[in-house]
Amino acid sequence: MAGGADHGRMERWCWGAGSVVVIVYALIPVAWILSLSLKRSADLGDNRLFPQVVSLEHYAAVFRDPQFSAALWNSLGIAGISTLVAVLLGMFAAYAVVRLEFPGRRVILAAALSIAMFPPVSIIGPLFNIWRTVGLYDTWAGLILPYITFTLPLAIWILSAFFREIPWDLDKAARVDGATPLKAFVFVIAPLAAPAVFTAAILVFMFAWNDFLFAISLTSTNDARTVPAAIAFFTGSSRFQQPTGSIAAASVVVTLPIIIVVLIFQRRIVAGLTAGAVKG
């Protein structure tokens, strides 16, 4: 069966080549920005992919800038709190939507989805004015609120899809075993939903971490400006110099937390924890 073997080799080769194309396509910009961040200022325009001399001067410059450290702290805090609140609220909402019979629960899911689809740019203007009036402009809460609003629907959808897979008998068993509804949720359902919780958390975190629109519109100082907005305020060392190197270095720095978070949690995201709950 020489033809069959040939066929198999051909197929593997095609898969391999396809994968390489996709990876190169996706990673070339990243490699480029990494390379820019490591070049000396003088070499920035040398049209080479690999830096001639690896230098950390831009990283040093970025971290010397108090604006960047403040922005990094703001980003971590705002994204962290948004994630925590959105996932927590999302868990309760999703559980209610899946397990409780109440009028309009389909409407809730549909409404949640429509909020997620809503273009944020259309509310920026009014939000700017409202926030200035009520004193939320340029505060952490002023960013956390819209982030939660726009990520909560996503969290609810992910979590409710997962809760639906958890056998209802487990809730019932816990209730008969003497648990209050809250205890049944905390000790039985929540641990089983961990993979979905991590998935939702990562997506919410990435939304908040990467957001530029709200951050640039609703902040004005280091009090609440996050990294994506702060990068736009970078300046070169003189007014004749482009801040290319610093921007590249800052971009690499803000990419790292996301990569770390995903690497840490990717194993936990693997579902299959429910295997063995029921027969099969």
Partner 1 sequence: MSEIELRKVSKRFTGATAVKRANFTIRDGEFFILVGPSGCGKSTLLNMIVGLEDVSEGEIRIDGQRVNELDPKDRNMAMVFQSYALYPHMSVRENMAFPLKLAKLSNPEIDRRVARAAQILELDEYLDRRPRALSGGQRQRVAMGRAIVREPRAFLLDEPLSNLDAKLRVQMRTEIARLHNRLGTTTVYVTHDQTEAMTLGDRIAVLRKGEVLQIGTPRELYERPRNLFVAGFIGSPAMNFLPARRAEGRRTTPNGGGPGKVR
Residues that bind partner 1 (CB under 8 A): 167, 169-170, 172-180, 183, 187-188, 191-192, 273-279
Smaller CB separation from partner 1, 44 or 173: 173
Residue with tokens 């770390």: 260
Q: Please, what is the minimum distance in Å from the beta carbon of residue 135 to partner 1?
A: 45
Gyration radius from the chain CA atoms: 24
Q: Please, what is the minimum distance in Å from the beta carbon of residue 91 to partner 1?
A: 16
Q: Please, what is the minimum distance in Å from the beta carbon of residue 9 to partner 1?
A: 38
Q: Please, what is the minimum distance in Å from the beta carbon of residue 180 to partner 1?
A: 6
Q: Please, what is the minimum distance in Å from the beta carbon of residue 161 to partner 1?
A: 18
How far apart, in whole angstroms, are the C-alpha atoms of residue 47 and residue 212? 29
